[in-house]
Structure 1
Amino acid sequence: MYVGLQIPSFKCPGGTAAIRPLLKEVVTRAEEAGFYSFWVMDHFYQIQGLFGETYTDPMMECYTTLGYLAGLTERAYLGVLVTGVIYRYPSILLKTVNTLDILSGGRAYFGIGAAWYEQEARGFGVPFPALAERFELLEETLKLAKALWASDQTAFEGKHVVAPAVTNNPRPLSQPHPRVMVGGSGPKKTMRLVAQYADACNISERFGRERMQQTLDALKGHCESVGRDYATVEKTSLSTVHLSGGDTAASVRARLKDLAAMGFTHAIVNLPDLYELRPLEVFAKEIIPAVAEF
């Protein structure tokens, strides 16, 4: 099992001026510790209640942040967990992902989802259509990505997306393209999109084991319906690990072993005490080497 690190909070000691140097220290130490991937959220408001924070707490734009992380690292994969489909025009979004992939040396994931944070969208003046329309836009974006990454130029016309002459120059370095991750756990729509278009899914551990298993079962069913090998989908999870709270290295290993038994191969964690840096040492010495055997 691989272990990834999500960085969802930029409320760090020292305030705004400390964000840049502290992020540098975090990701360089984390890459040395053996973390397989780094992830940031696509939000402009902080998630209310996350680690006790409020919506006015610091939040960085995701793709700019990943560009910075790309220049600091050499091995870890980089992605947004996940991009809200409503925030950027799809063809421009794909150019952004191509750029990240090239400048990171072929280490980009394309994480995408239907978006959910209505208060954030309204606050920033971004249209927030009904869920059914957001899913239509999500599917068209996935179709556009598939068409674009199969050629040097493509024309696309859908219900919501029209792009008469999108170029794919320069092409991304990842082969055959950056790995596509669809976030969410909806058994009907989301898992169908994963089966049809994605290389990876992401399911949050906060839903509990029963719902996680139900989601995987739904994905398996959709894979069978479209004639896809279920094993070809990378199953990633998202967990909160608080080593300064109630978690221990042993309890984390046990949790990740349970996830591996369910079929997850890539466990992404966020750490409320990340900026203390000590959790990275614990992962390096007591968790990552052990779970690599799962």
Structure 2
Amino acid sequence: MTVRLGYQMTKFSYSTPIGELFPTVIAQAREAESAGFDAAFIMDHFLQAPVLGALDEPMPEAYTTLGALATATKKIQLGALVTSNTFRNPPMLAKAVSTLDVASGGRAVLGIGAGWFEPEHSQYGYEFGTLTDRFERLDEALQIITPMLRGDRPTLDGKWYHVENAINEPRIRDDLPIMLGGGGEKKTFALAARFADHLNITCSQSELPRKLDALEKRCEEIGRDRSTLETSFQAFVIIDESGDRARRLQHDFLLSRGVDLSTTSDAKRPAATDEMICGDPDEVAEQLQTRFLDKGVDGIILNLVVNGHEPGIVELAGRTLSPLVHG
């Protein structure tokens, strides 16, 4: 698995009618494919995350969407960033991602995490439980899913899940990659060291060196060579040929979320903007290089929440960033 540059679609509130939603999603995936992105990802949520928009904004089901993208693209890898383990029975998830792999000709990635957004669980009737509960469930799920993806037939009588000789066919390969996502230095990183091919790290930029040190320790604890676990950073990017327009888009987006940069004090402005990469291509490339890639991650998975649906923006991001991560 190699994902040095990934594109995550997180926003589906377009100015077009709902009937045009999927053509817009497909256009972004195709643009990412032609622009040098290694993978395209869909969020796995039922409601929009509050930091990105209103709860009732359009949010298509992830694996149905990925199935559509499988037949609309040719070479880009496809996955959920990340699948909430709480939403699906583990052998059913193994079946779903393996079917996606067959449909796409061997391009599926299983991105998975413990789940975090309680309101969608309560609305849809899924058990949320404690943080400990969710990570115990994820551990058991990976003990089922991993062998199923490799052609084995696991049996597990666990605290949370029970399977017996679980068959998973059809499959097109035995090395479908597993990606974990999150920033938990103990639980998430330990599971990544045990099961994952790739870890997508979510954290503030200042925390990244500590996160990488913690990941090194989790790998050492089980005798794994850290270099065998690929890493990426999840970045919120606003890019435009005009840096001034990018900053206007940032201002308008934050205003829609209740933050007015024109009246925000200099002391409070960093809290609102520091986790965003914003500017023209040269500015964005420099920020991603110095703030993240130079810290030691292998790649970047970015979202373009504000303007990624505009024709040409995904292509601009790929053309700008591919040289940084692909050499």
TM-score of the two chains, using structure 2 as the length reference: 0.84
Deviates more, 1:281-290 or 1:157-166: 281-290
Structure 1 residue 248, shift from structure 2 partner: 1.7
C-alpha distance in structure 2 between counterparts of 1:91 and 1:172, whole Å: 17
Q: Which residue of 2 aligns with 1:222?
A: 218
Q: Is the 8 A contact 2:101 2:171 kept in 1?
A: no
Q: Which residue of 1 aligns with 2:183?
A: 185
Higher radius of gyration, 1 or 2: 2
**SS of the counterpart of 2:138?**
helix
Structure 1 segments unaligned to the other structure (5+ residues): none
Structure 1 residue 28, shift from structure 2 partner: 1.5
Q: Is the 8 A contact 1:257 1:291 kept in 2?
A: no
* Residue 233 (structure 1) aligned to one of 229, 235, 247: 229
Q: Which residue of 2 aligns with 1:149?
A: 149
* Residue 301 (structure 2) aligned to one of 260, 268, 275: 268
Q: Which residue of 1 aligns with 2:81?
A: 81
Structure 1 residue 153, shift from structure 2 partner: 2.4
Q: Is the 8 A contact 1:253 1:291 kept in 2?
A: no
**After the TM superposition, which residues 65-144 of structure 1 pair with which residues of structure 2 at under 5 Å, given as runs?**
65-144=65-144
Q: 1:280 to 1:146 in 2, by over 3 A?
A: closer
C-alpha distance in structure 1 between counterparts of 2:123 and 2:136, whole Å: 23
CA RMSD after TM alignment: 1.6
C-alpha distance in structure 1 between counterparts of 2:89 and 2:140, whole Å: 11
Q: Which residue of 2 aligns with 1:281?
A: 315
Deviates more, 1:267-276 or 1:277-286: 277-286
**After the TM superposition, which residues 7-22 of structure 1 pair with which residues of structure 2 at under 5 Å, given as runs?**
7-22=9-24
Structure 2 segments unaligned to the other structure (5+ residues): 240-245, 248-277
C-alpha distance in structure 2 between counterparts of 1:98 and 1:35, whole Å: 22
**SS of the counterpart of 1:250?**
helix
**SS of the counterpart of 2:285?**
helix
Structure 1 residue 291, shift from structure 2 partner: 4.0
C-alpha distance in structure 2 between counterparts of 1:164 and 1:154, whole Å: 7
2:314 partner amino acid: L
1:19 partner amino acid: L
**SS of the counterpart of 2:164?**
strand
Q: Is the 8 A contact 1:152 1:171 kept in 2?
A: no
Aligned residues: 287
Deviates more, 1:145-154 or 1:226-235: 145-154
Deviates more, 1:19-28 or 1:137-146: 19-28
Q: Per-residue displacement from partner, 1:88-124 (whole Å, max 9, x unpaired)?
A: 1111111001101111111111111110100111011
Q: Per-residue displacement from partner, 1:26-73 (whole Å, max 9, x unpaired)?
A: 2222211111110011100011130xx200000000000011111111
2:208 partner amino acid: M
* Residue 210 (structure 1) aligned to one of 202, 206, 213: 206
